[in-house]
Amino acid sequence: MQMRWLSFLNLSPANTIGSRENRVKRGRLHCAFSRCLTPLIVISETDMYCHKKGGPMKLTDILPIEKWVELEKEISERYGFNAAVFDKEGNKITQYLKWANSLCPVIKGDEKGRTFVCAVANQNMIAQAKRTKKTVNGECDAGLVKFLVPIFVGEELLGVIGGCGRLLHGSEVDAFLLNKSTGIDLAKIEALSGDVTDISTDEVNSIISYLEEKIEGIVSGFSK
């Protein structure tokens, strides 16, 4: 069944990917591209890890931190995205950082940009992934592609892995909304947007499928 991911504004599925109307409210994601999303593997309760030290499981319980860094590097270097692994609270678990363009570090470095663009998109998408146990993809208020693949062990969400910072073919950076949301000078936004690369929906879906398979393998290997 085809599914269309909608924002928390309950937008109509008729809305298009790049329409500014879908991003009219600050800090909200808009209707993203359609794709059939398949649930990731879920281990039975009897196979779940019993944490020796007590307390909730962490991503580093199923894979060493250096291996998560390797995955981030692959997403960044192979696919050209800002790559990150986040815990279930939305905190990045590694120190790895390689920007996909000149615009994203300026948004992230701005207090309003960090709060109203990056953080809200992350929080909303992680919440969506937790509820559905499926990959969530969309765009942030800057109009840039963002996707998160959930990492579950049993019924417990440990975190997500994903990327952001590129444009879908035919889309453009929403400089107007970004200016209104953050106060960053419009001319500066437009100048910094020059090296934002585009990508097709099929390519994004292919990357997501690849990461879903990687996560399924990690979780399956952990359960054995």
Instruction: Among 15-29, 34-48, 52-66, 134-148, name the most confident range.
Output: 134-148
Beta bridge partners of 63: none
The stretch 25-29 carries a mean pLDDT of 39
pLDDT 10s digits, 181-219:
999 999 999 999 999 999 999 999 999 999 999 999 999
pLDDT for the residue numbered 61:
95
Structure tokens at 189: 């936004």
Q: How far apart are CA 164 and CA 148, in angstroms?
A: 9
User: Closest by alpha carbon to 151, among 143, 162, 160?
Assistant: 160
The stretch 73-89 carries a mean pLDDT of 97
**Confidence band of 17 (pLDDT split at 50, 70, 90):** very low
The stretch 3-14 carries a mean pLDDT of 34
The 3-class secondary structure across 132-151, one letter per residue, is HCCCEEEECCCCCEEEEEEE
Share of the chain above pLDDT 70, in %: 75
Structure tokens at 173: 């950076």
pLDDT 10s digits, 96-151:
999 999 999 999 999 999 999 999 999 999 999 999 999 999 999 999 999 999 99
Strands of 136-221 (E only): list them.
Answer: 136-139, 145-153, 156-168, 198-199
Asked if 1 and 8 count as a contact pair (C-beta separation under 8 A), the reply is no
Note the pTM of the prediction, 2 decimals.
0.78
The stretch 79-100 carries a mean pLDDT of 97
pLDDT for the residue numbered 221:
84
pLDDT 10s digits, 152-161:
999 999 999 9
Q: Name the residue type at position 169.
A: H
Asked if 211 and 134 count as a contact pair (C-beta separation under 8 A), the reply is no
User: Closest by alpha carbon to 124, among 83, 150, 90, 82?
Assistant: 90
User: Closest by alpha carbon to 103, among 179, 189, 198?
Assistant: 189
Asked if 80 and 166 count as a contact pair (C-beta separation under 8 A), the reply is yes
